[in-house]
Each structure stands twice: as C-alpha cells, then as structure tokens.
Amino acid sequence: MRVAGSLLFWGFVLLSSLVLFPIAVLLWVLTAAFDGRRRVLHAFTSFWASLYTWLNPAWPVRVVGRERLHTAGPAVLVANHLSLLDILVLFRLHTHFKWVSKIENFRVPLIGWNMTLCDYIPLRRGDARSTHAMMRHCDRAIAGGSSILMFPEGTRSASGRLRSFKPGAFQIAERNRVPVQPIVVRGTAEALPKRGFLLQGRHPISIEVLDPIPAEVIASEPAEEVMERVRALILAALEGRDEMD
C-alpha cells in the first residue's frame, strides 16, 4: 500500500511540474522587467510546493507562531533539517525569501529550473569559492529587500537529532545587520525519511516560528554566539515538544 501511495504521489509531482513549470516561465517573462526580487514567481512557487501537502491527507501541516515572522524588512531565516519534505513544508510560511540550497537541487528538471528562475542561491558543499559566492549572493538579495532561508546544519539529520550548526547564516546576518528568525520543523523525518522516497503513512507535521533575534543583538554579539543561542532555542523547542509527546 505504501509503495502504491508513493508511486501515486511522485507521479503527481511529475505531472503537476510538467503543467506548472511553463506557467512559471510565463510569469518570469511577464514580471522580470519590474519584479527584480521575483516576488510574484516566489508566491507562485509557494503555491506550487504547497499543493503537495494540501492535497496529501497523510501530511497535515500546522503552522504555529506565523504572527512572529519578521516582515518589517529582510531577515535570515534558519530552520532545522530532517527530510527532503522540509523544503515543501517551509513554503507553507507563504512569506518572501530566497532559498540557499545545494547546487544539485538546481539541476533537477523543472523544479530545479524554477529555482533558477526565482533567483534562489546555489551552494556547492565543501567548496570555499562557492561558499564565498553564496554569501555575496545573499548580501545582494538582502540589500534588495529579500529574506534568506538556510538550513544551518548544512544537511539533513539522519538520526533526527539536531546537528551542530555552521556559522554562515549568522555571519550573513551580522554583516548585513538583519534579524535572525529561528524556525522549528517537526514530523517530516517520520513522513519521509532521509534515505528513500517511500512515504511512511500519516504523520502530522508542524512548523513553529520562534521570536526573531533583533538586528541590534546580531550587531552586538559575535556570530558564533548568536549561532549557539539560536541552536539552543531550536533544541529547547524540539525537546519541549518531545517531552509533551
């Protein structure tokens, strides 16, 4: 049953992408001249990604604390990373941001091509030149008014436990004097484990938006201290939920 459901889901992803990518290209053509931040295309992409959780009864998604999202200007959004599904789920925030994502995702037909149209930000892991280029790209995006969304663990956690953070996201926030917005994702590892594409039955999923760390604090503390503070906040939220469960 799980195999049949998984084949149905991934078939729907393929067919819907064949339909929706040409619409994305048309939107890009029609808006590129006046929408440098790609706000229209990102909003369409949020709709596209959200279809896969809206229409899948096995993945009910609840967003907690949406009112805490920093919307007065750009910010660096950071979330824990458990599953490929995290990417789809975080689009349910329906707020404007630029993804920082491994370069391999940009090579995925249709979906990856749309990431390029949206001017999301590629990163080749372990490549210092790519890291510098990514950070400069983030600087330009923030200067243009766009937020950034990153997974500071760098890769998905195979065990489900929160991994150590890398400092890049916090250095970007410090250099650009913008807030850091911690976000907690739960339930995606059970719904779609790291290694494999087999859906695992019904698993509730939640996104919890924590209070942002203000720009004034970011400017006054070393990036590494902010990094550890944010990791502690996300870890405490995860452990608090685990205790309630």
What domains can you pick out in the chain, each with its CATH number?
Answer: 2-244 (3.40.1130)
Instruction: Give me 19's structure tokens.
Output: 């339909």
Contact 155, 83 (CB under 8 A): no
Partners of 10 in the beta sheet?
A: none
- 203 pLDDT band (50/70/90 cuts)? confident
Instruction: Give me 26's structure tokens.
Output: 């048309």
Residue 98, classed as helix, strand or coil, is strand
Residue 95, classed as helix, strand or coil, is coil
Strands of 45-157, DSSP E? 61-64, 76-79, 97-102, 121-123, 147-150
The tens digit of pLDDT for each residue in 29-61 reads 999 999 999 999 999 999 999 999 999 888 899
Find the farthest-apart pair of alpha carbons in the chain and give their distance in angstroms, rounded.
Answer: 54
Contact 84, 156 (CB under 8 A): yes
Mean pLDDT within 149-158? 84
Give dist(CA 181, CA 212) in Å, integer.
Answer: 4
pLDDT of residue 191: 85
Give dist(CA 101, CA 113) in Å, integer.
Answer: 13
- 22 pLDDT band (50/70/90 cuts)? very high
Q: Give 197 or 30, the one with higher predicted confidence.
A: 30
pLDDT of residue 245: 43
pLDDT above 90 (res 229): yes
The tens digit of pLDDT for each residue in 49-101 reads 999 999 988 889 999 999 999 999 999 999 999 888 999 999 999 999 999 99
Q: Give 4 or 144, the one with higher predicted confidence.
A: 144
pLDDT above 60 (res 242): no
Mean pLDDT within 134-158? 92
Instruction: Give me 196's structure tokens.
Output: 């494999």
Give dist(CA 48, CA 111) in Å, integer.
Answer: 10
* For the chain, percent of residues with pLDDT exceeding 90: 76
* For the chain, percent of residues with pLDDT exceeding 70: 95
pLDDT of residue 155: 78
pLDDT above 50 (res 134): yes
> CA triplet 119, 121, 126: central angle to 5 degrees?
160
Element (H, E) at 184: strand 180-186
Partners of 61 in the beta sheet?
A: 205
pLDDT of residue 97: 97
Rounded to 5 degrees, what are φ and ψ at 63?
-105, 120
Give dist(CA 88, CA 51) in Å, integer.
Answer: 9
